[in-house]
Amino acid sequence: MHIERRKALKAGAGMGFFSLLVAAGFVQPGVAWAEAYNEGAFKTKTLDETLKALGGTAAQASTDIVITAPDIAENGAVVPVTLVSRIPNTEQIALLVEKNPNMLAGAFYFLDGSMPEVNTRVKMGETSDIIAVVKADGKFYTARKEVKVTLGGCGG
């Protein structure tokens, strides 16, 4: 379909940007990113699909993942979320909002020198669980926390 084609072109453009960065010396070659932009993962609608798109099959519940988010968010357009993983060798933390039209909000990859800890702000369409999916040593772990939203942040 045309839309798919356009996306493919965009993905191509993104790669171009990366080589530009390499050329400009912003990013040194030799340290290649393991992951390219995973368009498909952002289209998934269920937890299983999202896990699969991230390269996992089953995720084990873990108490070593700390999700900090408000219990009640007045404005669903800006919900602050902090994710911390205490699991050794954490490579990746994905941030999911269970009841958003597409679950995956963002995925964070940690290389040398960065700690498995990230703080950002997400949009939430309605009251939902926030799910963290951590990849460490090739295994997947998960934790969740509910955030009640009084005013949704996804529609107009």
Residues that bind other proteins in the complex, under the rule CB under 8 A: 10, 13-14, 16-17, 20-21, 25-28, 31, 33, 35, 37-38, 41-42, 77-80, 97, 100-102, 104-115, 117-124, 153-156
Is-contact 156 80, C-beta < 8 A? Answer: no
**Nearest partner of 66 among 118, 136, 27, judged by Cα:** 118
Rounded to a whole number of angstroms, the minimum distance from the CB of residue 107 to other proteins is: 5
Letter for the amino acid at 80? P
Rounded to a whole number of angstroms, the minimum distance from the CB of residue 74 to other proteins is: 14
CB-nearer residue toward other proteins: 72 or 78: 78
**Dihedral in degrees, nearest 10, Cα atoms 84, 137, 40, 129:** -30
CB-nearer residue toward other proteins: 107 or 136: 107
**Nearest partner of 37 among 105, 137, 132, 107, judged by Cα:** 107
Rounded to a whole number of angstroms, the minimum distance from the CB of residue 71 to other proteins is: 19
Task: Say how far apart CA 10 and CA 17 lie, in whole Å.
Answer: 11
CB-nearer residue toward other proteins: 118 or 148: 118
